[in-house]
Amino acid sequence: MEKILKFKCPKCGNDVLEEIMIEVITSTPIRKITVTDGGYEPDYDHSNAETLDGQVDRYQCSKCGFIVPVRNLEALAVTEYMEVSDACNS
């Protein structure tokens, strides 16, 4: 049976986990560049951005920055920060 793991931050209660990566190559298309008195403002198309290579540095809460003390998903799955539910109840 498939299970779903959901993050719950012990510090602020937020349910969104971030994967922070290092040594990453990112490619983001630029649709246009607007020139203003203040400089240049590129119009990035973030929906078509690509991320290549890199390695996980840490997992953290997207709201308060609480760092989960693990370095991979397998270790994360068995921490007290993850709540388990059936896939059909998610």
**Rounded Cα–Cα distance for residues 43 and 35 (Å):** 11
* Overall pTM surpassing 0.75 (yes/no): no
In which domain, by residue range, is 83 found? 3-89
Q: What is the pLDDT of residue 24?
A: 94
Which tens digits make up the pLDDT trace of 34-75? 999 999 999 999 999 998 989 989 999 999 999 998 878 888
Count of structural domains within the chain: 1
What is the SS3 string spanning 51-82? EEEEEEEEEEECCCCCEECCCCHHHHHCCCCE
Backbone phi and psi for residue 38, each to the nearest 5 degrees, phi listed first: -85, -5
pLDDT of residue 77: 80
- 18: amino acid identity, one letter: E
Contacts of 26 (CB under 8 A, 6+ apart): 49, 50, 51, 52
